[in-house]
Amino acid sequence: MSRVLAFGGALMDFVPAGDGWRARPGGSAWNVALGLAALGEGVAFAGSLGSDPFAERLGTLGEAAGLDLTFAPRVDAPTALSVVHRGVGGQPDRYAFYAQGGADSAFTGVAAGAWAGAHAAYFGGVTLLREPAAPAFLACAQDAARRGLTVLYDPNFRPAYAEEGRRALWAYLPHTTHLKVSHEDVLGLLPGRSVEDGVAELRRAQPGLHVLLTLGEAGARLFTPQGEWVHPGYAVTVADTVGAGDACAAGWLRGTVAGPHASPAHVLAFALACGALACTRPGAHAPTLDEVQQFMDSQT
């Protein structure tokens, strides 16, 4: 039984490799689903898959990873593509999307039975912003909130979808219990505000909200109704940052659904360890629970 449902898109990321690119599975929700599965969580991916060889590869990899694909129908459309351009001078990686008419935007929702046994739901990525699927994803977030689930929303701000992303933030926020944002997300989604002011505005708008603010190499801050926790992050050799935020989100969600006995400080450290390990391999790497625990033990 799936304790977590991950809503969003499954794409193919084209990651720089030598003089060209290498195709790797991607998409925020897909990455988070794989990340949760690698950490030992029962997870279902809720999003449509295409009918091309890329979709066949995604399906094969998802099944091998233990994902529940019951709510990932196949549609007669191509898999959306994302081309990653490396950031220079400390700048984040940039993404160019080739997704018009892509399979991920054909999502229409899930049956009521999808929620049986679920404790949490994740929503994230640009797929949530694209028509005609956008209203269906938002309706699922509303349904998850009505059912009392933990709802983690990661807006994943992308300049190519700036206006859509800003509208979606305020549409999803009333249904969100846990919000994961980077400092770039806050500056992009709330133009004219500082990061500090932006986070404060979001917390005022949604009382009781938990906010994980990631700060790149500077670590992260976790805001909860009980207080604030800070972690300086981990020093690793970076292959790339593709999927690091998704791995961090998976770690945070895994720690959150693990139960109230987990301290916020430990959950924050665990989430950042997942993100750090994802940076050590090219593409969206999903570290296993053993890898994360061994890594954290080595840091003490």
CATH code for position 291: 3.40.1190.20
User: 283: Cβ–Cβ under 8 A, 6 or more apart, which residues?
Assistant: 13, 15, 22, 24, 25, 26, 240, 242, 243
For residue 191, the model assigns a pLDDT of 97
> What is the per-residue pLDDT for 87?
65
Query: Considering its fold, how many domains does the chain have in total?
Result: 1
Cβ-contact 13, 98 below 8 angstroms: no
pLDDT for 89 equals: 64
Q: Report whether 50 contacts 103 (CB < 8 A).
A: yes
Q: What is the pLDDT of residues 88-99, one digit of tens each?
A: 666 666 778 888
Measured between alpha carbons, how far is 242 from 75 in angstroms, rounded to an integer? 27
Q: Which positions ≥6 away from 116 have C-beta within 8 Å?
A: 1
Cis peptide before 225 (omega within 30 of 0): no
Cα–Cα distance, 266 to 135 (Å, whole number): 36
The model's pTM: 0.94
Confidence (pLDDT) at 238: 85
- For β-strands 220-224 and 227-231, DSSP reports them as antiparallel
The predicted-structure confidence for 176-187, as pLDDT tens digits, reads as follows 999 999 999 999
> Domain of 160?
4-298
pLDDT at 90: 60
The reported pLDDT for the residue numbered 28 is: 94
Spatial contact of 81 and 27, defined as CB atoms under 8 Å apart = no
Spans in the chain with pLDDT lower than 70: 1-2, 87-93, 259-260, 284
